[in-house]
């Protein structure tokens, strides 16, 4: 597969940066901007999960 290194890099980024940064941002919102936190939490909870576009 030609895209395997790219898929691994994207998965590593998601696990080590994207997910923890999202959690940290939500904690910050909860502490600093409670009204914005509620809106953001609802948007994230109601958003459909991303679908894989890989046609492997």
Confidence band of 48 (pLDDT split at 50, 70, 90): confident
Confidence band of 56 (pLDDT split at 50, 70, 90): low
The mean pLDDT of 13-37, rounded to a whole number, is: 92
- 7: number of Cβ within 10 Å: 13
d(C-alpha 43, C-alpha 1), whole Å:
36
Task: Tell whether pTM > 0.85.
Answer: no
Q: In the predicted model, is pLDDT for residue 4 greater than 70? A: yes
**pLDDT at residue 44 in the model:** 86
Q: How far is C-alpha 2 from the chain's CA centre?
A: 25
Q: In the predicted model, is pLDDT for residue 37 greater than 80? A: yes
């Amino acid at each position: 597969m030609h895209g395997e290194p790219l898929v691994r890099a994207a998965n590593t980024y998601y696990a080590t940066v994207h997910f923890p940064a999202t959690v940290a941002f939500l904690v910050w919102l909860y502490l600093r901007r409670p009204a914005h936190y509620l809106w953001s939490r609802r948007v994230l909870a109601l958003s459909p999960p991303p679908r894989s576009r890989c046609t492997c």
